[in-house]
Every structure is written in C-alpha cells, then in structure tokens.
Amino acid sequence: MSARIEFVRRAARSLGVLDWIRIGVLVLGVVFVATGLLPADTARSSVGRVAPLLLFLFSVIILAELTKEAGVFDAIAQRLARAGRGNYVALFVLCVAFASLTTIFLNLDTTAVLLTPVMLALAARARIATLPLAMTTVWLANTASLLLPVSNLTNLLAADRVALETREFAARMWAPQLAVLAVTMALLWAFYWRRSMRGEDAYDPPEPAPVKDRVLFSATGLACLIFIGAILAGVHTGIQLGIAATIPAAVVVAVFAFRDRAALRPALIPWQLLVFVTGLFLVVPTLERFGLDDAMRALVGGDDGVAGAFRAAFSGAGLSNVLNNLPAYVAGESAVPASNSDQLLSLLIGTNVGPVITPWGSLATLLWFEWCRRWNVRVPIRKFVLTGTVLAVAGCAATVPALLVTS
C-alpha cells in the first residue's frame, strides 16, 4: 500500500501546471454530466463527434515520436541548417517558408505534429537557441492557415457556409494571408530572432551524421510520406484524418516491435491531450446550453460593414483564447447571418490568427506545447502570452482590411 501511495505522489509531482489544467477540464466536464447540467445523450453525441479527432491525436503523436526516435527529424533539420550556411537571416527565411508552406498545403495540425520536431532537432543539430525556432513553428501554424480550405478545419466550415470552392476561397484570402505573414515575420524577428535574442552572429552548419538503423529510418520516413499523401488525398477523396494517421502509425509500431522494442514505452501515449480534448467537448456544450450562443450574438453583432468585420475578428480571437478556436468559430458562425460573408470570413480570421495567446487557443498550439514538453524545451509563459497578444492584435488589425479589399 505504501509503495502505491509513493507512486501516486511521484506521479502527481511530475505533473506540470498545464497537466493539472487539462485534468481539471475533464473533471469539470464529468461533473457537468453527473449533475445533469449536460444531458447524457448530448455528452455521448459530443464525445462521438470528437472520437475521430482523438484517434488522430493518439496515432499521429505516436507516429511523430517514433519518427523522431528513428532520426528522420534530425536528418531533415541537418539539411535545413546546412542550406542556411551559417547565416541567421537565411535560416530565418528558410524556416518561415518551410513552416508556411507546410501549414498552407498540409494543415496547421500537421505543422504542429511533424514540423515542430524538425525545428527542435534543428536547434540541437546546429547548437543554436531553441525558442526562436519553436516560436516560428507555433505562430506560423496558426497565422499561415488562412489561404486554402484544407489549411484549417475552421476554413472548411467557413468555405461550406459561404459556398466557396477552393479557388474562390483562395481569391478572397490571399491578401489577408500575405498581410498576416508580413506581420508574423516582423514580430518573430523583433521578439525572438534578432541578435540580442538569439545570442550569436552566426551558427556553424552541422556535419552529416550517420543513420543508426537504416531500416527504421526508411520505414518511418516512408510512413510520414504516406501520412502526408493521405492528407492531401483526403481533400478530394474524403479520407478521414484518423485513418490517415492510424495506418502509418501502426506500420511504424510494427517495425519498431521487430527492430527496437524498447522504444515502445507507455510515455508514447499522449494522455494529456486526450484528456483535455475530451473534457473540452463536454464543457463547451454545457456552456452553449447556458447562454454561450446568446453571448456570441451579442458579441459579434449583425453588421456586415467595416465595423462588423473588426468586431467579428476580435471577438473570435478573444473567445478562441478563452475556450479554443474550434468551438469559438462554431459558436460565432451560428451568430452571423449567412448573407454576411465579409463578417463570417473576418470571424474566421480571428479564430485562425488570434489563438496564439493561451496554450489551449488551438489544437495546433496544444500539440506544439506537447512537443516542447517531450523535448524538455522551456517556454516562458509570460513572454509567450505577451508576444502572442501583440501578434493577435496586430495580425487581426492588418488582416481584416486586406480581406475587405478582396470583397
């Protein structure tokens, strides 16, 4: 009995502030169901909706973690660092371009899952500061997600609501995307990349490192390509994200079972994210039953002019950082008349660009924090919140006028 108590104490001490927040959200959701504030049928329906997302999270984290173990991320990071040739400006441009293109074409969550380990490995391989590379990933995972419907789940919802095909959607969003990328690059350099922040004038490109296990390296690299291909194919064929991640993850686990069984440890399971997302989809429906929908109508208003566009964008950004950008968009969408396309797309801007202030603002930010935790990267929360606030405000302020120009 004493051994069990000691184990529980050690486990509790190992939990960070974010871990306790995640557990608290789930406990609150369970309390809502147990007390009848959220009917059991509604709870089952809500959790059923999020089940494919939970499968995706479970599978893709395991896939990415084992890909890291196989050295694939190190190899990509090494090539990126060598391409920069020791010049921080060149490296900055390469990292921004890489993160932006990954987000635009492969979805912001893919950037958080697959690109974050690449950036963290790059910092280790080139022996440079980790935080600038990490912040480049999380900021661009959010702010580079405006251009195409596939870039973000909220985009798919918005494109369907305003009846825009991919080309038409891009025609409305290209100017906002360029505007927010310019703001993001300027603030990344000012807050994280300039000389006084990074600490060095130049870096030494790393020498090529040998691959420890060629079979694991090849198998995990191929699995990642299959995952990316499945996501791209899903745009046209409807392949579910959970399936796109589960099959490659299962292949990688099978290969590791034969080549390196010791790597298949319980710590691979991303319980923190599973707990938080499940809790979120119990808490938010409860809030909707007790006035969230009405509050959003009062917050967003019904004006499709310039004032209404800014109001929708900043309301979406604010609520995204309180709850999460997905429920914030869904709640806001129900409050915007279907004919108010500028206002709806402004709401979309707020829920895509804005959730860079709190760790739970978007799923991509949650995934990013998970990777930082796994790589033992210290993220100064105060600086994260303050600089994220500047980006959210400046990004929305620059992006909404760009949207209105394309209307």
- pLDDT of 108-123, one tens digit each? 887 887 788 888 888 8
Q: How confident is the model at residue 92 (pLDDT cuts 50, 70, 90)?
A: very high
pLDDT digits (tens, 9 = 90+) for 42-65: 999 888 877 877 887 788 888 888
pLDDT score at 2: 61
Instruction: For residue 372, count CB atoms less than 10 angstroms from its CB and return exposed for 0-12, middle for 13-18, buried for 19 or more.
Output: buried
Does residue 196 lie within any of the structural domains? yes
The total number of structural domains in the chain stands at: 1
Three-class DSSP labels, 265-293:
CHHHCCHHHHHHHHHHHHHHHHHHHHHHH
List the beta bridge partners of residue 202: 87
Instruction: Kindly state whether residue 3 falls inside one of the protein's structural domains.
Output: no
What is the pLDDT averaged over residues 173-196?
94
pLDDT level of residue 3 (50, 70, 90 thresholds): low
Q: Give me the mean pLDDT over the 67-72 stretch.
A: 85
- How many helices and strands (H and E) does the chain possess? 20, 0
Average pLDDT over residues 121-128: 81
* Average predicted confidence (pLDDT) for the chain: 86
Task: Name the residue range of residue 387's domain.
Answer: 19-405
The pLDDT score that the predictor gives to residue 237 is 58
Give pLDDT, residue 308: 92
Rounded Cα distance, 274 and 331, in Å: 22
- From residue 236, alpha-carbon distances to 174, 230, 231, 240, 355 in Å are 22, 10, 10, 11, 28
Q: Supply the DSSP string of 161-207, one letter for each residue.
A: HTT--HHHHHHHHHHHHHHHHHHHHHHHIIIIISHHHH--SB-PPPP
- Tell me the whole-structure pTM to 2 decimals: 0.76
Is 64 within the bounds of a domain?
Answer: yes
Between 79-88, 198-207, 281-290, 368-377, the lowest mean confidence (pLDDT) is in 198-207
* 199 pLDDT tier (thresholds 50, 70, 90): low
Would you give the DSSP letter of residue 303?
A: -
Cα 399 to Cα 95: distance, rounded to the nearest angstrom: 22
* 395 located within any domain: yes
pLDDT band at 294 (very low <50, low <70, confident <90, very high): confident
Per-residue pLDDT, 63: 86
Predicted confidence (pLDDT) at residue 96 exceeds the cutoff of 80: yes
200 domain-assigned: yes
Residue 192: the pLDDT is 93
Whether 222 is in a domain gets the answer: yes
The answer to whether residue 11 sits within a structural domain is no
Percent of the chain whose predicted confidence (pLDDT) is above 70: 93
Instruction: Tell me what pLDDT residue 38 has.
Output: 94
Give me the percent of the chain exceeding a pLDDT of 90.
37
pLDDT band with cut points at 50, 70 and 90 for residue 9: low
pLDDT confidence of residue 110:
76
Q: What is the mean pLDDT of residues 186-210?
A: 81
9, part of any domain: no
pLDDT at 238 over 70: no
Question: What local confidence, expressed as pLDDT, does residue 196 receive?
Answer: 65
Which residues, including other chains, have CB under 8 Å from residue 212's CB and lie 6 or more apart? 71
Residue 67, pLDDT above cutoff 70:
yes
Q: Residue 165: what pLDDT?
A: 80
**Using one digit for the tens of pLDDT, what is the confidence trace for 316-351?**
999 999 988 988 887 888 788 878 889 999 999 999
